[in-house]
Every structure is written in structure tokens, then in C-alpha cells.
Amino acid sequence: MNLARQIERYLPRQLLELVKDISRQAAERGERVYLVGGVVRDLLLGYPNLDLDLVVEGDAVKLAQQVAETSQTKLLAHRHFGTAKLSYGDFTLDLATARKETYARPGALPTVTPGTLKDDLIRRDFSINAMAISLGSNDYGELADPHQGKNDLEHRLIRILHPGSFSDDATRILRAVRYEQRLGFELETQTAQLLKRDTSMLDTISGDRIRHELELLFKEKQPEFAVRRLAELGVLPRISPFLKGDGWIAEKFDRARRLKKPTQLPSLYFCLLIYSFGEKDIEKFLARLNIPAKLSRAIRDTLRLKTSLPLLDKSSLKPSEIYYLLREYEPLAVQANAIATDEKECTPSLIVHQHLQLFLTKLRYVRTALNGEELKRLGIPAGPEMGQVLQILHKAKLDGEVRTKADEKKLALSLSPKL
Ligand code: ATP
């Protein structure tokens, strides 16, 4: 099958010119270049994907260096891995030396040696990701599909390439579900059986790698579908027995998406995912996934605040009281609790929810108009006394007792002699 016409139509002209230039220079070096992986899959599906991966039968790093010298691209090379990234305006191109991989033991990082395109495709995760398109001048656009990926695309199936695939690298369990749910495909029958058989192999995967796959999953449009499916397949309990993928998660993830920018969503999803954990259970989870310090703080705060929510369940609370109850928590933890308590039918939690919302949308941004310098000019000395004045002013501002700078001055001067 030849996809030359689709490539010409699909890729922006400048990017296409660059890709052709890379291929020309490769040919002069006696090397061959292919488009590979996700871009080929998406090109066949007609989906946009400008994250281009190129495989080089030859030396990808030397080729990329040569291209960078003769074009307006920026180069980032990883000689040790035989990979290079070329940036060109908004586009990036990843070049990798075709490689052969062997696994010394399940979950270990593979031993890598240079190989052919065929070697490079058989090491891949699923048939739909194991296709390539030649960019050589004599067979430009020709599809290489040794594992019937196109056929699986047509039958909407996720299929591994050999029965040991999940045990070699159990991150593929999470990847399989991510693609299945993103594309609305199904796990092919034997792949589904092997996935269930090999869930225990997740124990061989480092926390960083599992977390990275969950982060990728959380970048999907509707990750709740994949979370539900992972629960159904018995994968979630393998990561932590307390993880759930139920309707509550689905509803809260959906809510989170309406409130947060895409960049902040993955962290918020983590805080919601663990909402049913006890404070004691969470430490094992944080350690298992080697969660970085900032996110760990937000996750711990989410649960700490959850147990303190009854303190907010009083309609008589003043704004300043709400502020001083909540300011010690990471804003992400407050946000997670606001989403968790957003249930229309439940009156006590409606008050709690309103207080959390008030903090998030208003109270945490309130500042006094007067600063330390101005207070000094009013005759209030720096030190604990000034700290007290500032706090009283801040509370008064939160509670609407002062509005203007003049109000604050008046209040500050009336306080000073008493202090
Ligand atoms: P997308 O970015 O749309 O999720 P992609 O296919 O570009 O899809 P990447 O994670 O960038 O995904 O990986 C690029 C390619 O590398 C994949 O298409 C796949 O062929 C291969 N790959 C990635 N991870 C693995 C893995 N754990 N095992 C085998 N092959 C993998």
C-alpha cells in the first residue's frame, strides 16, 4: 500500500520539506528513514498528529547533526540512546536509530543494539503502533506493516505482538487500556487474556514508570473511561488495593475538567483518584509511585482537609474564619475537596462546598491596600506589632469591615496605641 498522497495532504508544507530533506541527506549517507509509530496510526485513521517519530536505519544522531548544520533546526541529541530531537518552529521531530531490544528479566529496561526496521517494529507495544512509512526516494510512501496493524485498525483492535509482551514490559498494560479507550477500540481476545494473566507483572515496574503512564493517561480527553476499564480488568488493585474506578470518579473527573486548565488537570485527577483513601493508606501509594514532593503535599492535604471538613459546616462562619481555616492547605487540595463536596442533594455539604468555593474564588486573593512601608510612615514600628496590625487589617478586609485605603489607615491608627 502506498500512502504518499496522504502524507502530502496531511503534513504542513514546511514540515514535509524538512522530512524530505532529512531523507535525502540520509540517502547520501547510505541510510534509510521511515515515519513510524503514532503518526502512521493516526494518518491511517485520519486523525491529526504532528509529533513525528522517524526511525533511521543507520546513525540517527549523526544524521540529525548533519541536518541541523544545513537547516534552521535546533538539535538536542542523546548519543547514549541513539536518539535526537530536531525543533523547527512549533514542530519537533524525533529521530531514533533503528534498534533491537532484549529483556534480561521482566520489567528490566531492555538491552539495546542497532538493528533493522524489522527489529525496530517487533519491539513495539501493539500492532497499530508497529507500522512505518518509507521516506526513501525509490519507495516513498510505501507502508511497512509486518504485524497487520492496518487490519487491526480496520477491526478496531489493540493487539500485542507476542505472548510475552506484557511480562517483558508491564507498562504496556496501562498503554493498552489508554489506546483502547482513546480510540474506542477493543482489546483483541488473546491480548485481553494475557493482560489479565500478567497484571501481577506490574509489580516489576518502577514507581516512576507507572506514574509516568498514569500521567499520560490523565492527559487523555476523558481519562475516567480508562480508569474505569483498569478497575474492571483488575489492574487498579495491583497498583493499590484502595484505588477505585467507579461512577463517583467519572463524575468528579468530568467536573474537574470544567474548572481547571489542562496543565493542572493531571495533579487534580491524582487528588480525586485517592479521595476514598484513609490518611494512613496514602503513604504506601505515594511511595509506590514515587510521587514528587509538591504533588505528595497536595495529596496528603486533600485527605487532611477531608477529615477537617466538619469545621466548615457552619453557615455562621465569617469569611476571615474560613480563610484562616483553609490557608494552610495546598490550593489544589482545597479544589479537590470543593469538587468532592459538590453534591446538589446534600445540604450540610452544600455549605461546606460554598465555603471552599468562596476561599478558592475570592478569599485567597484578598490583600490589604496598606503595606509595611506605609504602616511605618504612619508611625507603626516594624516587628511583631506591625505583623499584628497587618493581620487585623487583613481580617477586617476579608470580612468587609474596611473597603478603602482610607478605611485601613483609620483602623491602623486606632489600633496602634492599644497594641
Ligand atoms: P500518542 O503520543 O498518540 O499516545 P505514540 O504512538 O506517539 O502515541 P509514544 O508514547 O510517543 O506514543 O511512543 C511512540 C512509539 O513508541 C509508540 O507508537 C510505540 O510504537 C513505541 N512505544 C512506546 N512505549 C512503548 C513500550 N512500552 N513498549 C513498546 N513500544 C513502545
Same domain assignment for residues 190 and 227:
yes
Is 179 in the same domain as 277?
Answer: yes
Quote the ligand 1 centre to 36 CA distance (angstroms).
10
Find the DSSP H helices in 242-340.
247-259, 265-273, 282-288, 293-308, 319-326, 331-340
Span from the CA of 342 to the centroid of ligand 1 (angstroms) = 37
Does residue 127 have its Cβ closer than 6 Å to ligand 1?
Answer: no
Domain boundary among 348, 365, 382: 365
Residue 384 — pLDDT band, cuts 50, 70, 90? confident
371 or 236: which leads in pLDDT: 236
The domain boundary residue, chosen from 154, 181, 209: 154
- Out of 54, 120, 129, 216, give the residue to mutate to test ligand 1, the one with the largest number of ligand atoms within 8 Å of its CB: 129
Interval 150-205: pLDDT, tens:
999 999 999 999 999 999 999 999 999 999 999 999 999 999 999 999 999 999 99
> What is the per-residue pLDDT across 276-333, written as a single tens digit (0 to 9) for each?
998 888 999 999 999 999 999 999 999 999 999 999 988 889 999 999 999 999 999 9
DSSP bridge pairs for 102: 111
Shared domain for 216 and 142, answered yes or no, is no
Q: Is the CB of residue 125 below 6 angstroms from any atom belonging to ligand 1? A: yes
CA distance 50 to 37: 12
Residues 213-230 have pLDDT tens digits of 999 999 999 999 999 999
Q: What is the CATH number of the domain that holds 232?
A: 1.10.3090.10
Same domain, 205 and 101: no
Structural contact between residues 55 and 118, judged by C-beta atoms closer than 8 angstroms: no
In this structure, the residue with its CA closest to atom 16 of ligand 1 is: 37
Q: Do residues 112 and 148 both lie within one domain?
A: yes
Residue 38 Cβ < 6 Å to ligand 1: yes
Q: Are residues 307 and 353 in the same domain?
A: yes
37 CB near ligand 1 (under 6 Å): yes
Query: Per the structure, how many domains does the chain have?
Result: 4
| pLDDT for res 373 | 87
Pair (335, 393) in one structural domain: no
Place of cell 494473566: 197
Average the pLDDT over 377-391 and give the result. Answer: 86
Q: How many CB atoms lie within 10 A of CB 87?
A: 14
State if residue 171 touches ligand 1 by the CB under 6 angstroms criterion. yes
Domain identity same for 243 and 385: no
Between helix 171-183 and helix 189-197 the angle, nearest 10°, is 140
The x, y and z cell numbers of residue 27, run together, are: 540517502
Beta-ladder partners of 83 = 78, 96
- Same-domain check for residues 275 and 390: no
For residue 364, what pLDDT is reported? 94
Cell numbers given for 348:
450540610
Position 274 scores a pLDDT of 95
Concatenating the DSSP letter of every residue in 16-44 gives: HHHHHHHHHHHHHTT-EEEEETHHHHHHH
- Ligand 1: atom nearest CA of 51 is 7
Residue labelled with grid coordinates 490557608: 327
pLDDT score recorded for residue 179 = 98
Cβ proximity of 330 and 301 under 8 Å: yes
**Interval 101-117: pLDDT, tens:** 887 887 777 888 889 99
pTM: 0.89
Ligand 1 mutation pick, 122, 125, 131, max ligand atoms within 8 A of CB: 125
DSSP classification of residue 143? E
Same domain, 160 and 146: no
Q: Are residues 99 and 5 in the same domain?
A: yes
Residue nearest to atom 28 of ligand 1 (CA): 125
Task: Find the domain containing 382 and state its range.
Answer: 372-418
DSSP letter at 380 equals P
Domain final residue pick, 154, 172, 201: 154
| Mean confidence (pLDDT) of the chain | 91
Q: Which atom of ligand 1 is nearest to the CA of 216?
A: 4
CATH of the domain at 28: 3.30.460.10
Cβ of 341 less than 6 Å from ligand 1: no
Q: Whose CA is nearest to atom 21 of ligand 1?
A: 124
Residue nearest to atom 12 of ligand 1 (CA): 38
The pLDDT, as a whole number, for residue 105 is: 83
pLDDT for the residue numbered 71: 84
Report the residue count for the chain: 419
**For the residues 231-240, what does the mean pLDDT come to?**
94
Contact 23, 141 (CB under 8 A): no
Residue nearest to atom 15 of ligand 1 (CA): 37
Over the stretch 55-97, which tens digit does the pLDDT of each residue have?
999 999 999 999 888 888 899 988 888 899 999 888 889 999 9
Q: Report whether residue 149 contacts ligand 1, using a CB cutoff of 6 Å.
A: no
| Pocket lining: 99 vs ligand 1, CB cutoff 6 Å | no
Tell me, yes or no, whether 313 and 181 share the same domain. Answer: no
- Whole-angstrom CA distances from 304 to 63, 172, 307, 334, 351 are 54, 34, 5, 10, 19
The pLDDT value given to residue 194:
97
pLDDT band at 345 (very low <50, low <70, confident <90, very high): low
C-alpha 155 to ligand 1 mean position (Å): 20
Ligand 1: atom nearest CA of 130 is 20
